[in-house]
Amino acid sequence: MTELTMKERFAFRFVFNEERVYQHWYGRFLMFGTDYGRLRRVVARIGDWRKWCEIWTAEGDEVYRIAEKALAEGNLGKSRALFHEAVACYHAGQHIFFIDSVQKEATQEKARKSYVRALSLYNDTEKPVRVDIPYRGVSIPGYLRKADTEGRPLVIFVNGMDNIKEAEGHHFGSVFSGQGFNFFTFDGPGQGEMWRSLKFDARDYHSAVSAVIDWFEQRPPSGIDLTRIGLVGFSLGGYLAPEAAARDSRVKCTAGNSGLVYIGGLRGLKQLNPIWQRGVTYMTGCETLEAALPQFNYDIEEAPALRSPLLFYHAGRDEVMPLPKTHADKMVGWAKGETTLNYMEDAEHCTMNYLDEVFPEILDWFKKHLRM
């Protein structure tokens, strides 16, 4: 485990405790498949915040064991559900646990293994299909969910700082495919599975998104209307998705939520919570913020103006970024197409405490702009 400064020790202790998690992260953990009762039981057992990943990983191991037992007994539905919940446990453990990359990666790998086990219990028509897209000598790993009706549009989910395609990406896929969209989720450079082979660089992340679209055009799966492509991204993805759309005219509309749309140099990086500073160095593979700056210093106004429709959410009580209103204003000033801003004064990061309103609204918006 990496040696921490006193400021970092305080920040991590503040986040990884019952009261703080309850206030800001339960909604997210529940969203990607953790049972509420299990969530409360596990968090209550974590007396030392440095054990967060270890204890959640042990819980994931136990859920995985129960899933295997259910499978051996012929209870396929229970087994599949529990393999997904094991993914959720592993993801909760590794989520923002940037203080130990070895432990974080080992737990992420368990999440990927459990996800594959869950997918083995789907029928062929509903199973997310693994896709590996060639990109700069490596591969962009992702999962495609096909709509059950021919000729439907494609929505591509752009990850944030610490999402993985097997957790949030799977949940988003369930939401969108349930409404008749084709849906693709992937780990980009510096994210999830791809972190091992290629680190994050904000200057050209958009090229990975374009490579995904290229792949669909070059090897089009039957039944997908590639003239109707939308992007959606939360958190850092709330910046990456609109920026990528601005550079690729094949994207017809974009929804972003709580995007950190500018950094402001080294001073801006140092204003981030120490936890997110660790996230910056982790994603870029750098030892210090100074070294990471070229890869993580950006401003949405330096990208070509977005001309296609944008739906953008921002949260007035966003605990991740300083001065959230300035990010919302900057995004709206940059976008030159049809733009809808929903600034929710009482919302937390990614509007997690209002997703019952936000998700249906996003779906309705995509149906309108992708002509569903």
Question: Whole-angstrom Cα distance, residue 146 to residue 150?
Answer: 9
Predicted confidence band of residue 85 (pLDDT cuts 50, 70, 90): very high
Question: Whole-angstrom Cα distance, residue 189 to residue 208?
Answer: 8
Q: Output the pLDDT for position 59.
A: 98
Question: Whole-angstrom Cα distance, residue 153 to residue 232?
Answer: 13
Predicted confidence band of residue 228 (pLDDT cuts 50, 70, 90): very high
With beta carbons less than 8 A apart as the criterion, state whether 309 and 338 touch.
yes
Higher pLDDT, 135 or 47: 135
Q: What's domain 129-262+298-369's architecture?
A: 3-Layer(aba) Sandwich (3.40)
Q: Is the pLDDT assigned to residue 70 strictly greater than 90? A: yes
Q: Is the pLDDT assigned to residue 220 strictly greater than 80? A: no
Which one, of 291, 13, 25, lies nearest residue 162 by Cα? 25
Burial 208-241 (b: 16+ CB within 10 A, else e): bbbbbbbbbeeeeeeebbeebbbbbbbbbbbbbb
Q: Where in the chain is the domain with CATH 3.40.50.1820?
A: 129-262+298-369
Q: Output the pLDDT for position 20.
A: 67
Question: Whole-angstrom Cα distance, residue 247 to residue 169?
Answer: 23
Question: Whole-angstrom Cα distance, residue 130 to residue 192?
Answer: 15
Q: Output the pLDDT for position 23.
A: 65
User: What secondary structure, in 3-state letters, does 224-260 show?
Assistant: EEEEEEEEEEECHHHHHHHHHHHHCCCEEEEEEECCC
Q: Is the pLDDT assigned to residue 25 strictly greater than 80? A: no
Q: Where in the chain is the domain with CATH 1.20.1440.110?
A: 6-119
Q: Mean pLDDT across the stretch 18-45? A: 83
Coil, helix or strand at residue 193: helix
Q: Provide the whole-model pTM.
A: 0.96
Q: Mean pLDDT across the stretch 342-349? A: 92
Predicted confidence band of residue 260 (pLDDT cuts 50, 70, 90): very high
Q: Mean pLDDT across the stretch 353-359? A: 93
Length, in residues, of the chain:
372
Question: Whole-angstrom Cα distance, residue 91 to residue 60?
Answer: 9
What superfamily in CATH does domain 6-119 come from? acylaminoacyl peptidase (1.20.1440.110)
Question: Whole-angstrom Cα distance, residue 299 to residue 315?
Answer: 19
DSSP letters for 310-327: EEEEEETT-SSSSSHHHH
Q: In 120-199, which ranges are continuous DSSP H helix?
A: 168-177
Q: Is the pLDDT assigned to residue 17 strictly greater than 70? A: yes
Predicted confidence band of residue 171 (pLDDT cuts 50, 70, 90): very high
